[in-house]
Amino acid sequence: MPCEKCGGLFHPDEIFHTQYRGDGGIGVQYDNNLCEECAGEEHDEWCDKDYWPSCSIEERVELIQKHNIYNDDTISVFAARHDKSPCLDWSQLVENDLY
């Protein structure tokens, strides 16, 4: 199957569905079929644009502290005050909900 973002061909078991919609009946149509790498990139973009701004200051501080535990680069907890997300490694902090 082709990845809808990069166009690469992958085994169906390696394709992730990151969106879905109804098909007009009781079925579900899976959309946005992506390879693992593209699905991870899309997840990171979503975290930066949607998830981070919706978090409270306390939640942002917790995310930064977790990031600092798992990574060598240290981000100041004062970055939690900014609406623009710092460069966090989202793969370790927020589960990627792939369908």
Give per-residue pLDDT as tens, 48-77.
999 999 999 999 999 999 999 988 888 999
Residue whose tokens read 């992958």: 10
Torsion angles phi and psi, residue 16, rounded to 5:
-110, 140
Confidence of residue 96 (pLDDT cuts 50, 70, 90): low
pTM metric for this prediction? 0.70
- pLDDT of 20: 81
DSSP letter for each residue of 20-83: EEE-SSS-EEEEEEEEHHHHHHHHHHHIIIIIHHHS-HHHHHHHHHHHHHH-SS---GGGGGSS
CA 81 to the chain's CA centroid: 21
Give per-residue pLDDT as tens, 18-32.
888 888 888 888 888
